[in-house]
Amino acid sequence: MMDKLITGLQGSKYAQAALLALFVALTCAWVFLMDKSVVAFLLLLSSLLLLHYTSFPTKIKWAVGGVMLLLVVPFATSGGASHEAYMEVATQCGIFIAMALGLNVVVGFAGLLDLGFVAFFAVGAYTYAIFSTPQATEFMSGGWLPLTGSYFWLFIFIGGFIASLFGILLGLPVLRVKGDYLAIVTLGFGEITRIIFNNLDKPVNITNGALGISSIQAPNLFGYHFTFPHQFYFIVIAILALVILCVKRLEHSRLGRSWKAIRDNEIAAQSSGIPLIRTKLTAFAVGASFSGMMGVVFAAKQTFVDPTSFTYLESITILVMVLLGGMGSVPGVILGACVITLLNLQVLTEITLWLNQLTMQGIIKVPHALSPSKMQRFIFGAVLILFAIFRPNGLIAARNRKVDEGRLRAANAPVSAKLRDPSGHGEGGSS
């Protein structure tokens, strides 16, 4: 009965569309009417996952997904007082998705285990923070400082660019080691970056040290100021669209193949003419740039940065997103980032709240030290172990792109099947 239903559904696009619409409508109504419901919000977001599994053409899926994110989600959450809270969560999800996609280029495509990835996020965040506050005047002179919020848009790209430069600088020494050593060295460099930001207040005050940089300018578009989460939400969606487009284009390109070739077999890749260091550095640079762009957004959204936001636990969190979602799988990594962010921000805090209530009512007694939001590391560890055992390829395993054999065969038909001189030197040989 159930099987029949499922096969029936797989066959009919109308049934899929109807079901999806119904699901979206219900969860929307629920989110809209309830004051704040984690479950309803999760279900609303999971309609995007349903969309992923429908059998519509890719273009339609993207269009529907875009409408969902740009119209449906902001509208549905606008019903109650928790609008900003919902939007904050969604914005954070978006920031982490972009970072996880960046790390996925490095770990999932190129196979380079990087445990210090948050460093690039920090570089992006500090780039904007320093120049959009009087901080810059501490070590530079110029009447043009500090920059106003209308430079934010430019800084998204400058932040990405500086982060990728940083990725290359970091990569040059680091990429000489492989495997486990690389993991350790990147872990070290990630921490060093944070410590440098922490101490770069003397001799010249560049980062304002442990005090951090505050009053970062809000983005400004023709006089319109972005200060609330529901405004940042749209900035994040726009950058995310750009990031996904980039990743999608790279994934099956000459460069993407080179990354995967290096991941699968370094020696064979080199013998096929793929330059090792340069290709790895591009992976570092591309991954870092996504992180750097989101770092700029993060700085503007928080209006404050300090080194404590960029600890190695953040790097591990991003890595867990990639591993959980599925290394090398773009939809997987997006899902992984959402799951972990929501787990961190919503589920764990909700459970903690609930347990606290129970404790106050005297029903049960949970020691403070055992509150779920404090067990983040434990839960990550457990998730990683469980996935390594039961689902090593992640939630949505990476899939290779299949080409249409019929089309290739048809295109090939007019030409004779005989191979034409693969040596590239016309003279001689083919007698």
The CA–CA distances, whole Å, from 168 to 127, 164, 186, 281, 370 equal 17, 6, 13, 6, 42
User: Could you give the CA distance from residue 40 to residue 89 in angstroms, rounded to a whole number?
Assistant: 14
At its nearest, how many Å lie between another protein and the CB of residue 172?
A: 16
At its nearest, how many Å lie between another protein and the CB of residue 18?
A: 33
Work out whether strand 224-225 and strand 220-221 pair parallel, antiparallel, or are unpaired. antiparallel
Nearer to another protein, 135 or 282 (CB): 282
Nearer to another protein, 148 or 272 (CB): 272
User: Could you give the CA distance from residue 274 to residue 271 in angstroms, rounded to a whole number?
Assistant: 7
Helix (H) or strand (E) holding 251: helix 229-251
Environment class of 135 (CB within 10 Å of its CB; exposed 0-12, middle 13-18, buried 19+)? buried
Nearer to another protein, 363 or 415 (CB): 415
At its nearest, how many Å lie between another protein and the CB of residue 35?
A: 44
Nearer to another protein, 35 or 405 (CB): 405
Nearer to another protein, 20 or 293 (CB): 293
At its nearest, how many Å lie between another protein and the CB of residue 431?
A: 8
The CA–CA distances, whole Å, from 390 to 384, 394, 395 equal 10, 9, 10
User: Taking phi first (over 0 means left), then psi (-120 to 50 degrees means alpha), and beta for anything else, what does residue 34 get?
Assistant: beta
> Binding residues for another protein, per CB under 8 A?
246, 249-250, 253-258, 260-261, 263-265, 267-276, 282, 286, 328, 398, 400-403, 405, 408-409, 411-412, 415, 417-419, 421-425, 427-431
Q: Which amino acid is at 170?
A: L
At its nearest, how many Å lie between another protein and the CB of residue 420?
A: 8
Instruction: Determine phi and psi for 223, rounding to 5 degrees.
Output: 90, -10
Q: Which residues of 151-182 are buried (b: 16+ CB within 10 A; e: fewer)?
A: bbeebbebbbbbbbebbeebbeebbeeeeeeb
Nearer to another protein, 101 or 136 (CB): 101
At its nearest, how many Å lie between another protein and the CB of residue 277?
A: 9
